[in-house]
Amino acid sequence: MKNGILIIVLLFATVGTFAQDGYKIKVTLKPFSSGYLYLGHHFGGKQYIIDSVAINQKSEAVFSGKEKLFGGVYMVIFPKKNGWFEMLIDRQQHFEVSTDTTDIIGRTQFVHSPDNQLFQEYQIIAQTKGKSIAALQQQLKNNPSDAAGIQSKITLLNAEMLQYREQFIKAHPSHLLTAIFHLLQEPKVPEAASHPGGKYDSAFAYQYYKQHYWDGVSFTDDRLVRTPVFEPKLQRYFNNVLQQQPDTLIKAANKMLDAALSNKEMFKFLLSTLTEKYINPKYMGQDAVFVNLFERYYAPGKADYWLNDKYRKTVFDRAYSVMANLIGEKAADMNMVDSAGKPTPLYGIKAPYIVICFWDPTCGHCQKEIPQLDSLFQHRWKQKGVQIYGVMTDGGKPAWLNFIREHRLKGWSHVYQLPEVRDAEYASNKPGYKQLYDVYQTPVLYLLDKDKNIIAKKLSHEQLDELLQNKWKTSTKITREN
């Protein structure tokens, strides 16, 4: 008999388990009694709608699905999409929530969701202290004579909020809100007395801050991806915390991505975010970060599980366009001819510095920039031995020759590629110079040293002049010191 009871208990337990598959969230949102409610979630810096349900006359709507939702911060969005309220979806995915738009935080109630009950408590506390701080800040504007007293009250309220978070983290170590609090925490640099030598050391403070920036954050916790705070912290780390040298950025990116490899959602988010950031970087030379991502993760197939054909083509094409022209690498030779048809390859040019200028005589931007570039060349650069290797990319030979004559572009090595050479490269599947130098608009400027190593690329003529002037000043200083 006991065995029979045990079987029945196990049967009901199994049925109960199946009943809890997927998600089912009943929402009562007053005063709406028609239209649709939408279920959405944060994803990086954006929000996405994943479900919609009609509202009945009792202001009720039930979101449901057969598959469990990824953990994160979700939103119930109003019928006109002009507002929402947030909730956590993680361990409990079968629950009820009711609220009223007249006081979302104060009147929200959750049933069968302990995670959200804790979240609601936090929101009430944060709102209360936030209002108090805002009122004190207004007092500070109106009564600056009592700044010290008012500021001490603001400091106390902030400290109380910080203490609440720390206590919550200790009491609920696996809660999604704990993971969010870790993202919100700022590293607390030790007092100056604890620095080397017992006095404030800015280098020590920086290194400490950088090393502890991600304390408590797990790169295998994909819940973080669906919060509004992870992506801004990630961007700040790469924009402001790390030094902007490619090697530093590469090391940090690899460490983070390697840690996330076992979690597909987190790995996908980090790799796609960093790819978007460095595929066309803000600063010269940082395309080396993208090439590293390609060689370390895309090329070996570690991202194949989520790449579609279009994204894959974009990444692979871009990588092949950038790999050949990284800063510090040897520039590819170009087999060009001059206006008379005489072979004039790039590697035949001998000079301490070579400026490669890819341009089109019919391009409006080129028509403005090229004479200004020539002015710098004639009045500053030529006397220092700089050579310009001017490559006509498009526009036709007659227009090209006419522009050179009209603007008296003397002293340049004016060259172009013969059509038969271009066709032969294409037929043999060899990359053309436009791919090798990533030339898809004009003008494009490169600076090479005497050994044809790439020093700089895609600068304006003003930036190029500034770089050359700095190099000559540095060279003169070194010579004098020796």
Burial state string for 47-72 with b = 16 or more CB within 10 A and e = fewer than 16: beeebebebeeebbbebeeeeebbbb
Query: What would the pLDDT profile of 115-150 be if each residue is shown by its tens digit?
Result: 999 999 999 999 999 999 999 999 888 888 888 889
Output the pLDDT for position 1. Answer: 42
d(CA 288, CA 339): 35
Is the four-CA dihedral 91, 97, 103, 107 of positive or negative sign? negative
CATH 3.30.9.10 corresponds to the domain 337-481: no
Half-sphere exposure of 264 (CA within 13 A, CB side): 6
d(CA 480, CA 482): 5
| Rounded (to 5) percent helix, strand, coil in the chain | 50, 20, 30
Give domain limits for the chain.
Answer: 20-112, 121-184, 192-325, 337-481
d(CA 101, CA 403): 67
Fold that domain 20-112 belongs to in CATH: Immunoglobulin-like (2.60.40)
- Tokens 């911060």 belong to 73
Residues sharing a CB contact under 8 Å with residue 181, sequence separation 6 or more, in sequence order: 165, 168, 169
Query: What would the pLDDT profile of 209-231 be if each residue is shown by its tens digit?
Result: 999 999 999 999 999 999 999 99
Query: What would the pLDDT profile of 162-201 be if each residue is shown by its tens digit?
Result: 999 999 999 999 999 999 999 999 999 999 999 998 999 9
d(CA 224, CA 231): 9
Band (pLDDT 50/70/90 cuts) for residue 480 is: low
